[in-house]
Amino acid sequence: MREWEFPDYESELPVSEKSNPLTRDIDRASANHVVRLLEACDAEIFQEETGSPYKKLFSDSIIKTMMAVAEKVADILKGVTESLVVLSGCGTSGRLAFLVATHFNRLSTSVSRSPVFAYLIAGEDKALLSSREAPEDNAQLGMLSLQKLCQGKGRVLFIGISCGLSAPFVAGQLHLCLQHPEVYTPVLLGFNPGSQARYEPIPGCTFTFQSVVQQLEELTVNQRAFLLNPTVGPEAITGSSRMKGGSVTKILLESVLSAAHAAAHANTHITYMGMLERLREYERAVAITYAQTEVIAGLVEAAGQSLQCGGRVCYLGWGSLGAVGLIDASECIPTFGADYEDVRGFISGGYQSLGNKDGPLTSLGPQFSIAHADFERLVLHTLSERDTLLLIYTHCDAVGEVERLARRVREKTSGLHAIYHASDASATAADNISDLCSSVLKIHWPSSAGESGDSNLRMQMELSSKLVLNAVSTGAHVLKGKVYQNHMMDLQVTNTKLYHRATRLLQGLSGRSQARCQEALLGAVYRTDHLTVELLNSDLTAHTLAASTRSKVVPLALVCLLIGCSVSEAESRLARQPVVRDAVEACLTSSTQP
Ligand code: F1P
């Protein structure tokens, strides 16, 4: 058994919020070591069940549930009109719902079938590219958006994704499904046991996530609801479910939907061995990726250097790999308190290639300019040697266009790198692009990879790119000192889950009471040493809303707690010591000295 699997290990926390013993010292690790630690954490995804108290990805009950859900999807694909498969989630979970739904709609169109997949994300399409955590708390909003989407539909298979079994937005949608079983069949996807689902009351609702899960569990007996919740171990950076949580969401959804697609359109059967093989393909994809630890570490190092000296990291991706880049970049803002320009994604073809339902969002502001043309117009001329640029493409993409852009970037900086996916067949193709780059992460996919078709190979390349970019952006922020031990120190507290996570972090590091830590947090949110009774009594939504306009809230609160100083004194300390980890350590040392 792993340390975190013992019942007394951080026993009050669900698995998704526990800290991973493997990464306790990740804040002090070299780039190379960071990548190895991430590899070790990702390996837990495929850990066997033997000896563990938890259900795992390869557990019999998970494979069988995947098969049963695939059968339901296949029925819908086989052609009943007025049916829909809805994938829905918040943050990363919603972004992956988008990525997977658009992939399978394109696949359906390619075999002349109408698209039946739809996605929902809390905060709508804006949230695909920027952080919008507040709507995650809104169960009514979840219900309304599902109702609106499914108006007039006779049958809906609803797949709600919440890694921590915690988002009220998704709980509301599952509740709606339970109220209308004649239309909806609910599926819940997440990575905690049902007993660890969030039990906190949801304002204005009679249900909690926990009570919804209990109802779902009862219905699983007759296959009127499904629960896909293997445990994959705590995240490398505590609570950062964009990492393993996101990867497993992608693996599970794609395995189920591709089995359903093959059953509906290629007349294959959905079998136990077939499902197992799909999961094993992903396990191999993870291994193929991490076989290149050294090169990945080089990218982490380069990105880390850029962030440390005020430079930027830009991802220039093609096709769905461009979307993977956009997603990774968007997550740095809430996770590390980053600015949108620190890590930024661009996709060839912009919104047309992204295929989001609301179309171009460019008018919403500069961070919504996502096309390569935008990059050339707005960013290219500002590049310098401090910046790191990453081309992300495959042998199927417009290589001539990749080369053209590479040449333009190279005129400005030598910090150009590439992530290039090539199948065996194309591996020997002449490659002028490599000559322009400081380093190339060339991932060779054996012809056996994605045996069941180009679509599967593409999805594996996406996962592989996700792992590399997660390593680059996480590793770079670790090197920048944004992580203390394995905790994100500068997270945004823009919803109740994040507010509670921040409070727990403050309690753990300062040893103060929950009440005192909440006071310090609010002091940092409102930048005051004198919290009025009115402020203390106002509801959490007001606080999380106020926090969305503030930076460095958690580090400030911690400094106040450790030093016992005013908020403005803490602000000037942090200004003198901008590396959050160093500032925290300096305070911890002085607070333990007599
Ligand atoms: C949803 C989510 C995460 C994000 C952050 C805030 O979590 O948006 O994707 O990284 O932790 O919450 P979940 O509902 O999938 O657990």
Strands 184-189 and 226-228: parallel
Rounded distance between C-alpha atoms, residue 108 and residue 363, angstroms: 31
Are the C-beta atoms of residues 554 and 580 closer than 8 Å to each other?
A: no
Q: What is the DSSP code (8-state) at residue 207?
A: -
Are the C-beta atoms of residues 91 and 128 closer than 8 Å to each other?
A: no
pLDDT for residue 77? 93
Is ligand 1 within 6 A of the CB of residue 173? no
Separation of 91 CA from ligand 1 center, angstroms? 5
Rounded distance between C-alpha atoms, residue 123 and residue 127, angstroms: 5
Separation of 56 CA from ligand 1 center, angstroms? 21
Residue keyed to tokens 């291994």: 287
Is ligand 1 within 6 A of the CB of residue 95? no
pLDDT for residue 50? 85
User: Any bridge partners for residue 87, and if so which?
Assistant: 119, 159
Amino acid at 487: H
242 Ramachandran zone, left/alpha/beta (phi>0; psi -120 to 50) = alpha
How long is the chain?
A: 594
Q: What is the DSSP code (8-state) at residue 13?
A: S
Are the C-beta atoms of residues 552 and 567 closer than 8 Å to each other?
A: no
440-459 residues labelled b (16+ CB within 10 A) or e (exposed): bbebebeeebbebeebbbbb
Q: What is the DSSP code (8-state) at residue 589?
A: H
List Cα–Cα distances, 284 to 60, 66, 403, 445, 464, in angstroms.
Answer: 20, 20, 30, 10, 10
pLDDT for residue 428? 53
Residue keyed to tokens 């852009």: 405
Is ligand 1 within 6 A of the CB of residue 131? no
Separation of 107 CA from ligand 1 center, angstroms? 28
pLDDT for residue 111? 87
Is ligand 1 within 6 A of the CB of residue 544? no
Is ligand 1 within 6 A of the CB of residue 474? no
CA 170 to chain centre: 16
Pocket test for ligand 1, best of 95, 191, 241 (most atoms within 8 A of CB): 241
Q: What atom of ligand 1 comes closest to residue 165's alpha carbon?
A: 16
Are the C-beta atoms of residues 249 and 163 closer than 8 Å to each other?
A: yes
Separation of 93 CA from ligand 1 center, angstroms? 7
Q: What is the DSSP code (8-state) at residue 206?
A: S
Pocket test for ligand 1, best of 13, 17, 92 (most atoms within 8 A of CB): 92
CA 301 to chain centre: 22
Rg over CA atoms, the chain:
23
Helix, strand, or coil here: 186? strand
Residues 6+ apart with CB under 8 A from 148: none
- Which pTM does this prediction carry? 0.95
User: Please, what is the Cα angle at 74 between 68 and 75, to 5 degrees?
Assistant: 95
Is ligand 1 within 6 A of the CB of residue 164? yes
**Ligand 1, atom 2: closest residue by C-alpha:** 91
Is ligand 1 within 6 A of the CB of residue 90? yes
Q: Provide the token pair at 386.
A: 């401090």
**Ligand 1, atom 6: closest residue by C-alpha:** 91
pLDDT for residue 594? 53
pLDDT for residue 431? 75
Separation of 518 CA from ligand 1 center, angstroms? 21
pLDDT for residue 451? 55
474 Ramachandran zone, left/alpha/beta (phi>0; psi -120 to 50) = alpha
Rounded distance between C-alpha atoms, residue 157 and residue 252, angstroms: 16
CA 332 to chain centre: 10
Is ligand 1 within 6 A of the CB of residue 194? no
Rounded distance between C-alpha atoms, residue 552 and residue 554, angstroms: 6
**Ligand 1, atom 3: closest residue by C-alpha:** 91
End-to-end CA distance of the chain: 40
Q: What atom of ligand 1 comes closest to residue 16's alpha carbon?
A: 16
Is ligand 1 within 6 A of the CB of residue 162? yes
Helix axis angle, 293-308 to 31-43, nearest 10°: 120
Are the C-beta atoms of residues 189 and 87 closer than 8 Å to each other?
A: no
Residues 6+ apart with CB under 8 A from 46: 57, 58, 279, 283, 286
Is ligand 1 within 6 A of the CB of residue 333? no
Strands 483-484 and 487-488: antiparallel
Element (H, E) at 288: helix 272-290
- Return per-residue pLDDT of the chain as tens, 594 residues: 899 999 999 999 999 999 999 999 999 999 999 999 999 999 999 999 888 999 999 999 999 999 999 999 999 999 767 899 999 999 999 999 999 999 999 999 988 888 999 999 999 999 999 988 889 999 999 999 999 999 999 999 999 999 999 999 999 999 999 999 999 999 999 999 999 999 999 999 999 999 999 999 999 999 999 999 999 999 999 999 999 999 999 999 999 999 999 999 888 999 999 999 999 999 999 999 999 999 999 999 999 999 999 999 999 999 999 999 999 999 998 888 888 999 999 999 999 999 999 999 999 999 999 999 999 999 999 999 999 999 999 988 999 999 999 999 999 999 999 999 998 766 555 578 999 999 999 999 987 665 556 889 999 999 999 999 999 999 999 999 999 999 998 888 989 999 999 999 999 999 999 999 999 999 999 999 999 988 888 888 899 999 988 888 999 999 999 999 999 999 998 888 878 888 888 888 876 655
pLDDT for residue 522? 95
Separation of 524 CA from ligand 1 center, angstroms? 23
Separation of 162 CA from ligand 1 center, angstroms? 7
Are the C-beta atoms of residues 406 and 436 closer than 8 Å to each other?
A: yes
Is ligand 1 within 6 A of the CB of residue 163? yes
Pocket test for ligand 1, best of 88, 90, 166 (most atoms within 8 A of CB): 90
Q: What atom of ligand 1 comes closest to residue 245's alpha carbon?
A: 15
Pocket test for ligand 1, best of 477, 497, 499, 500 (most atoms within 8 A of CB): 497
Q: What atom of ligand 1 comes closest to residue 92's alpha carbon?
A: 9
What is the full DSSP assignment across 187-203?
A: EEE-SS-GGGS--SPPT
Is ligand 1 within 6 A of the CB of residue 14? no
Pocket test for ligand 1, best of 136, 196, 243, 336 (most atoms within 8 A of CB): 136
Rounded to 5 degrees, φ, ψ at 442 are -100, 115
Pocket test for ligand 1, best of 121, 141, 163, 505 (most atoms within 8 A of CB): 163
Residues 6+ apart with CB under 8 A from 570: 524, 556, 559, 560, 563
Helix, strand, or coil here: 483? strand
Strands 184-189 and 155-161: parallel
Is ligand 1 within 6 A of the CB of residue 325? no
Rounded distance between C-alpha atoms, residue 584 and residue 562, angstroms: 9
Helices (H), 130-200: 139-149, 168-179
Rounded distance between C-alpha atoms, residue 107 and residue 320, angstroms: 13
Separation of 401 CA from ligand 1 center, angstroms? 35
Helix, strand, or coil here: 269? coil
Is ligand 1 within 6 A of the CB of residue 167? yes
Separation of 489 CA from ligand 1 center, angstroms? 16
